[in-house]
Amino acid sequence: MNERLQTLIRAALREDRVDRDVTTLASVPAGHRSRARIIAKAAGVLSGTRAADAVFRLVDSSLTLAWEATDGDRVRPKDVVLRIEGSTSSILRAERVALNFLMRLSGIATEAARYVEATGASGTEILDTRKTTPGLRLLEKEAVRHGGGTNHRADLASMALLKENHLAAAGGILPAVAACRERFPGIPVEVEVVDFEGLQTAIESGADRIMLDNFTNEEIASAVERTRATGSRVYLEASGGFDLARVRAVAPLGVNGISIGALTHSVRSLDLSLLLEDAAI
């Protein structure tokens, strides 16, 4: 378990006051032991096993954990994901935090898989964004990968993404790209464009990637045609207002990627549950 993950898990456990679980302290006899299992209650793609495993081990390192599914696996209702054996008190105190990680991250992986499937055989990548839960970005982006998606930039330092406010402050696309190249050579540069004039300028700037922001389907098709007609192989990313139906329509048009903020900012968690199998083992 790396230090960053351990810090995150410890903070979640402190938030839930697992050291002062009044229900368990009052109702579960000291020394009581059980077997338990986590099962899927809906179909989806699993993610978050690393975090959930860490939760149980930090609460009680003596617990025995046997994973029957791993990140990226597809699960169906009633599938057993994890079997646990040990202190009943420890299992119950860790339950909610472990499930919170597992359910949210599996929800993201499941949604990513749905969007990836919608691209068919086009080869178009489904990209995430930085619209993530504070503190959970690395885990949420990992979940996107478990669903077959592709990570966009991880943070503000890993890529320059010139959007309208940056372009306005810098005086336009050409000086903005030039400034990024001069200040941070070797860092990829992406330019957001909102029309064909901006697209042409972005191509001329030598940017590594171009984001077609809120282009219609017809405009996206034209943008791909115009870009490739210049001989440019620049990475073209479509962004803004995509659902599954629109992904199916746009993916065959030739863009390299489609970014979906909803993968992380408004996803529905996958339903999972922990059940005690027996007691006093």
Compute the distance between CA of residue 36 and CA of residue 84 in angstroms, rounded to an integer.
5
Structure tokens at 201: 């300028």
The catalytic position among 57, 74, 131, 145 is 131
Q: Taken in order 51, 56, 60, 66, is the CA torsion positive or negative?
A: negative
The catalytic position among 95, 111, 140, 192 is 192
The catalytic position among 95, 142, 190, 213 is 213
Give yes or no: 141 in active site. Answer: no
The catalytic position among 41, 83, 96, 137 is 96
Give yes or no: 78 in active site. Answer: no
Compute the distance between CA of residue 211 and CA of residue 227 in angstroms, rounded to an integer.
12
The catalytic position among 35, 41, 57, 163 is 163
Structure tokens at 230: 């210049």
Burial of 16 (0-12, 13-18, 19+ CB in 10 A): middle
Q: How far, in Å, are 57, 94, 165, 188 from residue 61 at the CA level? A: 4, 12, 50, 43
- SS3 state of residue 36: strand
Compute the distance between CA of residue 80 and CA of residue 88 in angstroms, rounded to an integer.
19
Give yes or no: 131 in active site. Answer: yes
Q: Please name the residue that has the structure tokens 């990024």.
A: 180
Give yes or no: 192 in active site. Answer: yes
- Cα–Cα nearest to 127, from 269, 256, 248: 256
Phi (first) and psi of residue 118, to 5 degrees: -70, -20
Give yes or no: 213 in active site. Answer: yes
Active site residues: 96, 131, 163, 192, 213
